[in-house]
Structure formats: C-alpha cells, structure tokens
C-alpha cells in the first residue's frame, strides 16, 4: 500500500462518514519497504492538487520520516526542482506499507494490512 493511497483512504464505517477525524487513517506497527519505480512526473503534477498536505505531513511523521515542509511544492517546483520531484516520488509512490494496521481516529476501527493489502471488509452492523 503506497503512501499515496494512504492520503486518500478513509474509514469505511458508516458513522465515520461525516466526521473529519476519520481521515487520515493512522498507521500502527507499520512495516515499510522501499520499492523502486520509475518517476512519473506528469502523474505527480496531476495528483498534487488533490494531496491533502496536512494529512501527508501527519502520515509521514507517524511513519517515522523527517517532518515535511509546511507548504506543499507547486506544480512549477515539480517541473524545475529535480530533487524535490524525486523526494515526493520516493515518499508517495515508492514507500509501501506491507504489514501493520490502519487505525481510525474517530471510531478506533483497525484495518489490518497484510502483504500490502488492506482489509476493508466490515461486519454488516458497521456498514
């Protein structure tokens, strides 16, 4: 599960749909791997405006990475600043959560992650 995906996943429990605390989910006991993949600049430029930067800073800190700058890079930065592009790529697309749990900050539900696959199946009373 890429950090990119963690920036979009929310708690699936019905009661959590309307609160802000159900995003981002908080990684717990996370085992990470770094999986090298080719840089896709146009993809990053495309998704950048949709990244919740505050949530990304939270996730990144919770995963044990150095604190991200307060402000997100701009599309221009990504076009011009090769280093910044690489760092963002490494964090969002190359860093994968393989094992652990994703915990909802509102209801406390824990979604297990095994071999990189998050289990979002819910018992029917939570749907």
Partner 1 sequence: MSRPEDTLAADVHYDDTEARKYTTSSRIQNIQASMTQRALELLDLKFPSLILDVGCGSGLSGEILSQVPPEEGGPHVWVGMDISASMLDVALQRDVEGDLLLADIGQGVPFRPGTFDAAISISAIQWLCNAESSETSPAGRLSRFFNGLYSSLKRGGRAVCQFYPKNDVQKQMITSAAVKAGFGAGLLEDDPETKNVKLYLVLTVGGNATGSKDIADVVDGMDGVDVLDNRKKGEKGGKGEIKKGSKAWIIKKKEQMERKGKIVKATSKFTGRKRRVQF
- The CA R_g of the chain, rounded to the nearest whole Å, is 15
- 93 touches which of partner 1, Zn ion, none (CB within 5 to 8 A by kind)? partner 1
> In the complex with partner 1, which residue's Cβ is closer, 37 or 82?
37
11 binds partner 1, rule: CB under 8 A: yes
Cα–Cα distance measured from residue 1 to residue 9, given in angstroms and rounded to the nearest whole number:
11
> In the complex with partner 1, which residue's Cβ is closer, 51 or 84?
51
Residues 71-90 touching partner 1, rule: CB under 8 A, are none
Residue 62 beta carbon to partner 1: minimum distance, rounded to whole angstroms: 18
Cα–Cα distance measured from residue 64 to residue 10, given in angstroms and rounded to the nearest whole number:
21
Instruction: Reduce the DSSP state of residue 4 to 3 states and report it.
Output: helix
Cα–Cα distance measured from residue 110 to residue 120, given in angstroms and rounded to the nearest whole number:
9
Q: By CB under 5 A, name the one of 96, 101, 106, 111 that touches Zn ion.
A: 106
> In the complex with partner 1, which residue's Cβ is closer, 9 or 90?
9
Cα–Cα distance measured from residue 1 to residue 120, given in angstroms and rounded to the nearest whole number:
13
């Amino acid at each position: 599960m890429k950090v990119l995906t963690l920036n979009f996943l929310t708690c699936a429990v019905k009661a959590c749909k309307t609160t802000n605390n159900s995003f981002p989910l908080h990684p717990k006991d996370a085992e990470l791997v770094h999986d090298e993949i080719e840089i896709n600049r146009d993809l990053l430029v495309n998704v950048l405006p949709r990244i919740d930067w505050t949530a990304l800073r939270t996730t990144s800190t919770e995963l044990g990475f150095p604190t991200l700058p307060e402000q997100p890079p701009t599309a221009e930065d990504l076009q011009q600043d090769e280093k910044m592009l690489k760092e963002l790529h490494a964090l969002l697309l190359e860093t994968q959560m393989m094992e652990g749990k994703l915990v909802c900050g509102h209801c406390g539900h824990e979604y297990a992650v095994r071999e990189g696959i998050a289990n979002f199946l819910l018992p029917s009373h939570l749907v």
